Amino acid sequence: MSALADLINLDLSDSTNQIIAEYIWIGGSGIDMRSKARTLAGPVKDPSELPKWNYDGSSTGQAPGNDSEVILYPQAIFKDPFRRGNNILVMCDAYTPAGEPIPTNKRHAAAKIFSDPTVVAEETWYGIEQEYTLLQKDIKWPVGWPVGGFPGPQGPYYCGVGADKAFGRDIVDSHYKACLYAGINVSGTNGEVMPGQWEFQVGPTVGIAAADQVWVARYILERITELAGVVLSLDPKPIPGDWNGAGAHTNYSTKSMREDGGYEVILKAIEKLGLRHKEHIAAYGEGNERRLTGKHETADINTFLWGVANRGASIRVGRDTEKDGKGYFEDRRPASNMDPYTVTSMVAESTILWKP
């Protein structure tokens, strides 16, 4: 082990009670992630024990230079898989000094929806399938693809095994274990249809915690790709042409849907989603029109369709749900670069609170 690696892996608990807290927030694009670290006197178990902090919003595109201070409010704590020990990752949202959420803070509005007594009573479960693409650092071309060229057509890569089919598995497995260590409810991972593209699933997780966990899982993944010298892309259609795009399929159920008679509740929820299709599409990620073309396992962006076991639909209902008469459904419209705070809260609002 090199001296540098030895220092990186230094166990602070041998010499001090102090810990390092990495504060994480969403940057000015609404999809980029930022973080910085601070020392705390000792271990922390709850976000309420953490101090607020600030950063220079003029350097992240979130505040003007003459009034640049943005305040971080700690919201969720995770174990730090990089520093380990008692060190933590802290998911924050961002506010002006006056206490107003800044425009990229989508968590604040989501928290209001998830704290509504009607929504709380329904115990909303989410399972989010986060697809992503790994790119070669210098040329921004998928890993495993020949420089300036293309691999063989899609077919052998989905859940594929072998050096000519699976590109980046070391990153994927590292991320999987790091998320479990952190306390993120990652339920699985798999290679995707396009080579160099992968997916991890978060859930089932209740309410706003699902979105917190997806954001921190993205952060951990980008830290790992940083170490590996590759680039993480959440572009919903990274390669034009006859290649699958990248989405964030959102599986969803309420307590009423999971109980006997739940299938009728599911059908009513789907009807509501259809009535608000345009509003959802507008909030489901940038560049989604390049992905939702009616091809490559998608429905056309301007058309709302649902079906049982239909991966070309906007909303897919599983065979088991139809058979059991209760369960969940999958919203296949969200893009890979969607904000999980927006998507999860909007689905809850449309299906539980909204009155047509």
**Is the Cβ–Cβ distance between 254 and 123 less than 8 Å?**
yes
Distance CA 34, CA 227 (A): 16
- Three-class SS state of 91: strand
Whether the predicted pLDDT of 228 surpasses 70: yes
Distance CA 80, CA 110 (A): 25
Average pLDDT over residues 15-19: 95
Q: Which residue has the tokens 């380990």?
A: 84
User: Residue 262 — pLDDT band, cuts 50, 70, 90?
Assistant: very high
* 117-353 placed in CATH 3.30.590.10: yes
Q: Which residue has the tokens 């029109």?
A: 289
Domain ranges (residues) in the chain: 1-104, 117-353
Average pLDDT over residues 224-234: 97
pLDDT tens readout for residues 132-161: 999 999 999 999 999 989 999 999 999 999
Distance CA 100, CA 94 (A): 9
User: Residue 13 — pLDDT band, cuts 50, 70, 90?
Assistant: confident
pLDDT tens readout for residues 29-80: 999 999 999 999 999 999 999 999 999 999 999 999 898 999 999 999 999 9
Mean pLDDT of the chain: 96
Whether the predicted pLDDT of 5 surpasses 90: no
Give the architecture-level CATH label for domain 1-104.
Roll (3.10)
Q: Please report the pLDDT score of residue 1 as a whole number.
A: 56
Q: Please report the pLDDT score of residue 3 as a whole number.
A: 86
**Is the Cβ–Cβ distance between 61 and 104 less than 8 Å?**
no
User: Residue 6 — pLDDT band, cuts 50, 70, 90?
Assistant: confident
What is the greatest pairwise CA distance in the chain?
64
Tokens standing for residue 329: 């459904």
Q: Which residues pair with 206 in a beta bridge?
A: 125
Task: From residue 6, give the alpha-carbon distance in Å to each of 9, 13, 42.
Answer: 5, 15, 23
**Is the Cβ–Cβ distance between 195 and 118 less than 8 Å?**
no
Task: Determine the angle formed by the axes of helices 340-348 and 208-228, rounding to 10 degrees.
Answer: 160
Q: How many of the other CB atoms lie within 10 Å of CB of 174?
A: 17
Q: Please report the pLDDT score of residue 123 as a whole number.
A: 98
pLDDT more than 90, % of the chain: 92
- Check: pTM over 0.95? Answer yes or no: yes
